[in-house]
Amino acid sequence: MLLLRDLLAMSSPMRMATMATIAGLLFAQPAVSQTYTSCNPLQNSNCPADPALATSIGCDFTGGACDQFNAQGAPTYDSNGASFSISQQGDSPTLVSPWYIMFGKVEITMKSAPGTGIVSSVVLQSDDLDEIDWEWVGSATEQVQSNYYGKGQTTTYDRAALHDATDCQNTWHKYTVDWTAEEIVWQIDGTTVRALKASDADGQYPQTPMQIKFGVWAGGDPSNPSGTIAWAGGVTDYSAGPYTMVVDSVSVTDYSTGSKYTYGDQSGDWSSIESTGGRVNGNIGADTIVSGDAPAVTTTSGSNVEPYSGTHASCSTCSSPGVGSWTMSTSAAPAVTNTDYPGLPSGWTVSGSGKVVPPSAAPSTFRSVLSASLPAASQAASCSASGYSIVTSFDQEGFLTTATMTFGVSTGWDEKGFPTTVYPANCMASTPSFDAEDALKTTDFQLAAVTQQAVATSSHGEIFLQTTDVGTLASTVAEKENSGSSVSGGKSIFLLTAILAAFSVPGHLGLVKMRADVFLSLCVGYATALWPIPTTYTSGDQVLWIDHNVKINYKIAGSTSAYGSSAGNSSWSNRIVTHAVERTYDTLFAKSFVPWKFHPRFSDFEPVLASNSTYVKSITLHQNASDPAGIVKPKIGSIDESYTLDVAASGEVTITAGSSIGLLYGLTTFTQLFYKCSTGSGVYTSQAPVHISDLPLFPWRGLNIDTSRTFKPMSSMYAMVDSMAYNKMNKLHWHVTDAQAWPLEIPSMPELANKGAYADFQKYSPKDVKALQEYGALLGVEVVMEIDNPGHTSSIAFSHPDLIAAFNVQPEWSTYAAEPPSGTLKLNSSAVYDFLEEMFDDLLPRLKPWTSYFHLGGDEVNMNAYNLDETVESNLSSVLQPLMQRYMDRNTGQVKAAGFTPLVWEEMLLEWNLTLPSDTIVQSWQSEEALAEIVSKGYRGLAGNYNYWYLDCGKGQWTNFHQDVADQYWPFLDYCDPFKNWRLMYSYDPLGGIPENATHLVLGGETHIWSEQTDAVNLEFMVWPRACAAAEVLWSGAKDATGQNRSQITAAPRLSEMRERLVARGIHADAIQMPFCVMNGSQCAI
């Protein structure tokens, strides 16, 4: 910002020029070329809602136009970026976003336009004319102006500021606006040049949803008011043009979520803005934003911007962290607060970490707690005439302990708070020879009760400890979160439901141990909810904190290097690990969440950060073997995806894996151990020590996305990949073309997309495809493309009508196809063969660096269409089958020659009875029997039964019905109704009905989102978190180690937490349960 001392220090000519500029700012009339509104919500209550961005997008204009912005005028594109030129009067090329942001960040790398009277501008503007600006006057080669307005109040011009921008017309600079509820920050090349607090804006603070506009206009046009011309530096000389502003790239992050923003009233206050399907500030992870002078630094992965949103601190005071690019702010630790609970002895409380605290300082031994703090009625209850008693209390670790002992006899206690007293024979049917903690490690066990035998067994992961005394209900039901192996640490594995009576009568078990906070809250006890569930998992209850200064060491096959170096590994492997580390920090410090929903209402569940709190001291990534070649496109079974994760109570973390992908998965699991404190004091886990050993059941864990029926912008595709990786899914099946549209650009055949796409801005360029594949490779997600054929190819007819038979037959389309428009590639045409060869010769080499697989489609080929194919003129299978065999031989031959393994849909094998190459992967979608038949023929198969794993089902028909037939289709259900809820998806076993000797042929499966009624607006809502259910089935298996289906009761809270983590990542994931259910354990179970 220009200060008086700067003005006085200038040379006289520069000072005069600057004063003239300031005068123009103060006295000019408003420059209105980009400031207008078609409907002001503060004046008209019927204005349409503002479409929400609700995510992060990035556009690199060096590769051409970006579908995130609409052009006004005629920007042009080349290797330098987007050019905005003024050549004649009336030119004002501009790019305008079709969406709005509700608080957020805008970054643009650009060179401003030269020329007297020429103004380059970047404007954030709302429908009620709130506005935030950058503007460059062409006659000022070293300056940029920042400005803001509230509600169109442009009658005063004292809100502008001037900033140095060295040679801004010839040098690339990055200009940033970070806009929050508390302040606006303007930055140039990462340095803050201005910060405006909302409280300092005199009631004119911009605070309503904003569009983004950037371009160039002639402020010096002779038709403009004299004040505007003076501010712009003078009259524009069009004959000396063109005058060009060049934009290299732009990135935008919306700090709110939802599909659209509406004005709840006409106050114009941000608190009145309502978000449909989301939350204002929802991308930040809290309802309020930490205020400061500058935003956190962002990082770019591929072309997908991943901001460390919500972290705002002064860049002039922050130091560079050892790893990552963000800053943290720490508030003072709040005072310890304890809560009284009914049933505790008088004066006892429970701390925020769940520890039971006696009235005075914690005693040195548990025995003193018994003798000093328990009511007499609880201290002595004779179990026989000999004077033995049941004694109950809470040990120093916060556990409830019940023991039978000789009344009045001194009893020893081990270091964990367990009694070491030997139980008298006449008080126990048998003498227990186990420690209760050891007992909880087993799946099936037997306990001896005081008066008679009581057996506690578990065949479904449930442990029942039951008393037999009439009139006293003292039972504990512990439902194990069965992970398939022996585990320990009651808090982290058991969802405990406890109803305990006063221990004043006989009939109890000899020894019971559970967390006191779990018992006191009637089993709402919260345990870390990992998703997908690991193979084995043990944990404790110690709190560890983590901050951004934690050291990370990366060891590859014994050598040590800083992460990101090339020592001992390939450059791509190091990129994977480097990105995984950066993503880990982003998740922990910018995208974590406060788990309030998973604790009793108004409970004090958070630990307190104190001066002696233990922090994670170091994270060691140990890769015990170098990655094999082709890590970004591994063949099935060639990559070791397993990992182990150890978090020591002392704060040392070790992740060991056989590959960089295993380290990626280990870091992903590590982030799920941590939560954000609502006070802003930091990020913590209460589960240390932790040991996890984990590996996937299936090597192919996929999601199939249809981008033909409705186009999905690249930002949506990136969000899908990111969410898949967080669920340890590894295959994105990209169903890129279909009958309705051909959005894929084939450079040698530009007419395909030019005529087959829905619109010019709904295309995927080669650069888009490569960027998505590269981004997927960083996250362990291989992008496998499908060109479905010979059916589902009607869109080719828009550019090559001679290749398609039965194209768009109306109204009898259903005779020839599953959906309109009908049409299929001709089956016996040399022109079709030539077309396929040219198309695949162009496409396959560009895909080859990133994938080993290519999907050739082959589903739902309608034989009737070939009656209208002049090269066949028959619908008889005896005629068509040999032609289809030749057709598919041609396709698989070209795909295999290019180095790919082919995939096809099940119909090619099961309905057309084709002989396929032995390595072909056959994808099943119709039934369990179909998959069983595939593997019975010796082929490898993928599961994905539409009765379980079709995400688009249950929305009703998308076709319309004439009045004379409508009654026949009422109530207009779709073919795959009902809606596939997560519980149904979770119950699907890909190995169901598969003989044991053929299970190795089932590589895994995919869940599918077809797009008749799913576009970019509802895509995330339709997919997540239901796809998480499929992800866990594919990683962990549908059944536990006992062969039983996994429990919904234990899965629901874990899935609810995964949903919260996805929301924190900016994903519009659907809800699982209402807070009452996740707050109250199994109380929503039947």
Q: What is the pLDDT of residue 1041?
A: 78
CATH architecture for residues 536-694:
2-Layer Sandwich (3.30)
> Would you place residue 304 in the very low, low, confident or very high pLDDT band (cuts 50, 70, 90)?
very low
- With cut-offs at 50, 70 and 90, classify the pLDDT of residue 431: very low
pLDDT band (50, 70, 90) for residue 761: very high
Question: What's the half-sphere exposure (Cβ side, CA atoms, 13 Å) at 261?
Answer: 31
Residues 158 and 201: beta-carbon distance below 8 Å: no
pTM confidence score: 0.58
Q: Are 631 and 666 contacting, i.e. CB atoms less than 8 angstroms apart? A: no
pLDDT in tens, 170-184: 999 999 999 999 899
Residue 863 Cα distances to 451, 795, 814, 856, angstroms: 76, 19, 12, 18
Mention every residue, 6+ apart, whose C-beta is less than 8 A from residue 72: 92, 93, 94, 95, 96, 215
Average pLDDT over residues 324-333: 24
C-alpha dihedral sign at 764, 769, 771, 775: positive
C-alpha distances out from residue 504 to 74, 377, 856, 864, Å: 86, 6, 73, 81
pLDDT higher than 90, residue 128: no
Q: Is pLDDT of 713 > 90?
A: yes
Is the pLDDT at 1003 greater than 70, yes or no? yes
What confidence tens digit (pLDDT) does each residue in 868-916 have?
A: 999 999 999 999 999 999 999 999 999 999 999 999 999 999 999 999 9
What pLDDT, on a 0 to 100 scale, did the predictor assign at position 228? 82
In tens, the pLDDT along 1040-1051 reads 878 888 988 889
Residue 541 has pLDDT above 70, yes or no: yes
pLDDT, greater one: 445 or 424: 424
Supply the pLDDT for residue 447.
24
How far from each other are the two terminal CA atoms of the chain, in whole angstroms?
65
Cis-peptide, bond into residue 821, ω within 30° of zero: yes
Using alpha carbons only, give the angle 44, 47, 49 rounded to the nearest 5 degrees. Answer: 145
Query: For residue 246, how far is the Cα from the chain centroid?
Result: 33
What is the maximal distance between C-alpha atoms in the chain?
Answer: 114
Domain ranges of the chain: 24-307, 338-520, 536-694, 700-1044
**What mean pLDDT is predicted for residues 581-592?**
92
Please say if the pLDDT value at position 1084 is more than 70.
yes
Nearest-5° Cα angle at 253, 69 to 291: 145
Q: Of 345-359, 444-458, 814-828, where does mean pLDDT reach its minimum?
A: 444-458
Asked if pLDDT for residue 1031 goes beyond 70, the answer is: yes
- The answer to whether the CB of 914 falls within 8 A of the CB of 885 is yes
pLDDT score at 213: 96
Burial 484-516 (b: 16+ CB within 10 A, else e): beebbbbbbbbbbbbebeebebbbbbbbbbbbb
Answer whether 748's CB lies under 8 Å from 842's CB: yes
Q: Is the pLDDT of residue 32 over 50?
A: no
Catalytic residue from among 131, 860, 929, 1060: 860
Q: How confident is the model at residue 280 (pLDDT cuts 50, 70, 90)?
A: confident
CATH for 700-1044 is: 3.20.20.80
- Tell me what percent of the residues of the chain surpass a pLDDT of 70: 72
pLDDT at 361: 37
> What is the spatial distance between Cα 55 and Cα 1018, in angstroms, rounded to a whole number?
13
Give the mean model confidence (pLDDT) for residues 736-758: 97
Q: Which of 109-118, 554-563, 588-597 has the lowest mean pLDDT?
A: 554-563
Strand-pair category, 260-263 with 50-51: antiparallel
CB-facing half-sphere around the CA of 569: CA atoms within 13 A:
32
* Beta carbons within 10 angstroms of residue 197's beta carbon: 12
pLDDT band of residue 153 (cuts 50, 70, 90) is: low
Q: Kindly tell me if the per-residue pLDDT of 961 is higher than 90.
A: no
The alpha carbon dihedral of 649, 650, 655, 656 has a sign of negative
Say if residue 697's pLDDT is above 70: yes
Res 1055: pLDDT: 95
Structure tokens at 485: 């192996």
Looking at the domain covering 24-307, what would its CATH class be? mainly beta
Instruction: Please tell me the least confidently modeled range out of 33-42, 567-576, 664-673, 789-798.
Output: 33-42
Q: What is the mean pLDDT of residues 918-922?
A: 97
| Those residues with Cβ within 8 angstroms of residue 910's Cβ, 6 or more apart along the chain or in another chain | 930, 933, 934
- Residue 997 pLDDT exceeds 80: yes
pLDDT of the residue at 559:
62
Q: Is the dihedral of CA 189, 192, 194, 200 positive or negative?
A: positive
860 is catalytic: yes
**874 class by beta-carbon count within 10 Å (0-12 exposed, 13-18 middle, 19+ buried):** middle
Give percent above pLDDT 90 in the chain.
Answer: 56
Q: Say if residue 156's pLDDT is above 50.
A: no
The region of weakest confidence among 634-638, 825-829, 998-1002 is: 634-638
